[in-house]
Structure 1
């Protein structure tokens, strides 16, 4: 048919029919014209073997005038096609280089680069021997849009994975890419796995080094190498800024977050009551994926290195003195401690999510770790540590430096604002301290907060006396008990029986 190219199959059919039929009949059976049949008889070469390149143009070349300039621009490393188009359009004008030739130019540039461009980077597929390599990374998980008790929860995920079997573990990281988070969660993963790979691969951990001076960077490196040495692993890193060299963890980072996103969609809510609830959710989802690889994981576990007898340090150690304010300063955060520790030197173990305080070998308390921006300071104050002294000196509350941090919930902050506005200074302080004393003595912070909120919502002040009687009922008077004197005759009877025996 006119306008259609003859195929190899049509030529084969024509030549087969030509042995038994005339040229016209064979051409008709092959679906070609007699003129095409005559050409095939003269040259039986298949169409696929013939050169079809056209050596003439059907219209003028729209790039002929600008192409020498384009080739000059192509010598600039990393220049984009759109940049070249905009440059020549600025130089030659829109009449010479209209918008309609942009796609033509981009196709011509792509062909030029294929024929004359430099070498491109090659991605070499790797064979992963079982038990040889484990990989770790931190990945930002803000795009999961998780909330804790209705509050936005920006966080990272620590991700460890075996390159061969694909066994993985993940943990919520509240801070940044710190050695503390790396050490704690890596060791958690290794002890869950029950063994250690021969090599531990990571990226350059640039975020961990970002705000560190040279000495701190050396400390980070030494600590990281010591951690790997403790488990018999050889630490390796990919080149800085070349993420695909750690591709066996970079791509699974995306897979992990995609699975979590799908699980959150199935769950129907991205809100969790607490961080611990969210951690359990992640653990369950990761465990599901590991069960799917159970056979491969079992094979790899058999060749992993055995774990050492115990874990190594997975915290940062800071020592500081307890001030006469009954506080201790750790990493720009002021933590309150029981007043009995004033004057003592405590050792603080800084984990990713908590701080544990020790007096010698004894742990005296644990507090949630508070994080602030680099130039700021923060407070973690437990009002129970101060309530005994505040009862004796309630006026100290008014201008207390960390007064707002002292209130356990927003309800108590509202109560203070209402009391301070309605009462004189002394009475406001006494009533507020009394409310805190009720919360501490009755261990009823949340229940009392609900009662305070209800009173304030009605436009009334909390009734301290009524709340005290409700949450701290007085001890009832003792009932006199009459105990009759013992009957000594019974003892005489026992003695008599003993002599008989």
Structure 2
């Protein structure tokens, strides 16, 4: 199809060049150039051709076979229909018919197909709406101390300014995770939006037909901050588009920052939290001007936060463990036999005895890849020193290893030493790892020994990493007699 611009260009070049040269400069063929000189009208001035220039290859089956298929299943793809035609009519409909069939199907859908879903763009007023959602971060392959860190993010976004907040959630999409994340976001923003919107979280909604089917705890949370609650229709994630689209951009920003960093491993959870906070703050700087406008329209915060935990009870067994929500936790042995009041937060458990907090531990995960145990090896060191032989058959032995290097070391010790010596050496290594700041450094040394195929020398490692008692020099202080100060006074008066 020639354009009016090409025809004008050809006519201009034809004044000074031959027909072939003018056609080449206008980007048309010589045959088209001859047609232009025979009829100088512009393409837009000529009547459009509505007749076919070649036979319709689908004329025999369009009304009898293809249209009934589309009416019965409008979402059928053209390639699926073509494969059926090829099965029903061998050697009659080659693959070259596909493009013609796609055009015909597209035209049929526009003329007689079912109505499509309409998306309504929204205008967001400052301070009107904030949105919460969770997003999985498994695709980023983050590791902590060399171990894969399966987690998701709680993500909050203010619809007008795109200001956002995110924090790590190791467990599921629980009410505690929602409450902690939402309150952290509100207090960091310095105010509350008038409306809080989520998807159909079971932590916030009973998911009944009633529009206002809030759970009791979620309704109390909204009332405390003076917000109204709404949700999108089930299965319609685009209705939460302000936060759903932000998921992708936030994860892309985290992924890019990890690439710049050069590796995806962090020494501990706190280091990853700090890394994530810097990424979110960097994104918020771009929206600072809009956030200042929205900040003026936010509802004032209440005087204090509301409850963001659930209280349960658990008895510490003689194995120095207790169970909360199907996850086994360890505790200091001094708490054996006591019944604790356990406050379950989104990221941790705080344990109280007679009103005093006696233990705190990170919350375990219900993920499929998790052992559903949250064991701290430090709670068992003293007992294992007295009974090192119990280490080999311990039910939760593999959960005692703080890093992969310790597990690999145990496998080598078990294979190349007697059971007694292997257990004693491993317990000694764990005791050494429990010292402040030694766990990560010792893990690097053990990893190097594993590569070299050398067993660890426990006395030498103790000499290297254990704290040394410094010998302080003895200082003898001679106290002068009190009468010697009178001499100073006399000298001052004389002067």
Aligned to 2:119: 123
1:97 aligns with 2:104: no
Task: Please give the residue correspondences for 1:363-402 in structure 2 after superposition, counting only pairs within 5 Å.
Answer: 363-373=357-367, 378-402=372-396
2:238 to 244, 259, 262: 244
Aligned to 1:234: 228
C-alpha deviations, 1:102-135, integer Å up to 9, x for none? 1101101111221222322211111111111111
Higher relative contact order (CA 8 A, sep 6+): 2
Aligned to 1:310: 304
C-alpha deviations, 1:49-108, integer Å up to 9, x for none? 775343x433221111011111111212422222222223322x1333221111101101
1:62 to 34, 57, 61: 57
Q: Quickly say closer, same or farther: Cα 1:468–1:301, change in 2 above 3 A.
A: same
1:339 aligns with 2:339: no
What secondary structure sits across from 1:386 in the alignment?
helix
CA contact (8 A) 1:435 1:464 kept: no
Task: Please give the residue correspondences for 1:267-346 in structure 2 after superposition, counting only pairs within 5 Å.
Answer: 267-346=261-340
2:81 to 77, 84, 95: 84
CA contact (8 A) 2:425 2:458 kept: no
Task: Please state how far the C-alpha of 1:190 moved relative to its aligned partner.
Answer: 0.6
Q: Which sections of structure 2, spanning at least 5 residues, go unmatched?
A: 12-33, 484-495
Cα distance between partner residues in 2 of 1:70 and 1:306? 62
Task: Please state how far the C-alpha of 1:268 moved relative to its aligned partner.
Answer: 3.8
CA contact (8 A) 2:172 2:366 kept: no
Aligned to 2:174: 178
1:355 aligns with 2:349: yes
Cα distance between partner residues in 2 of 1:90 and 1:428? 69
Cα distance between partner residues in 2 of 1:465 and 1:381? 28
CA contact (8 A) 1:332 1:376 kept: no
C-alpha deviations, 1:313-350, integer Å up to 9, x for none? 22333311111222111222222212221221112233
Task: Please give the residue correspondences for 1:151-230 in structure 2 after superposition, counting only pairs within 5 Å.
Answer: 151-205=147-201, 221-230=215-224
Aligned to 1:21: none
Q: Which sections of structure 1, spanning at least 5 residues, go unmatched?
A: 14-30, 41-45, 491-501
TM-align CA RMSD: 4.3
Higher gyration radius (CA): 1
CA contact (8 A) 2:135 2:154 kept: yes
Task: Please state how far the C-alpha of 1:256 moved relative to its aligned partner.
Answer: 1.8
Task: Please state how far the C-alpha of 1:482 moved relative to its aligned partner.
Answer: 11
Task: Please give the residue correspondences for 1:1-20 in structure 2 after superposition, counting only pairs within 5 Å.
Answer: none
Cα distance between partner residues in 2 of 1:409 and 1:350? 26
TM, length-normalised to structure 1: 0.75
Task: Please state how far the C-alpha of 1:437 moved relative to its aligned partner.
Answer: 5.0
Task: Please state how far the C-alpha of 1:399 moved relative to its aligned partner.
Answer: 3.4
Q: Quickly say closer, same or farther: Cα 1:134–1:412, change in 2 above 3 A.
A: closer
C-alpha deviations, 1:8-32, integer Å up to 9, x for none? x98xx9xxxxxxxxxxxxxxxxx99
Q: Quickly say closer, same or farther: Cα 1:201–1:59, change in 2 above 3 A.
A: same
Aligned to 2:16: none
1:462 to 457, 463, 469: 457
Q: Quickly say closer, same or farther: Cα 1:126–1:440, change in 2 above 3 A.
A: closer
TM, length-normalised to structure 2: 0.76
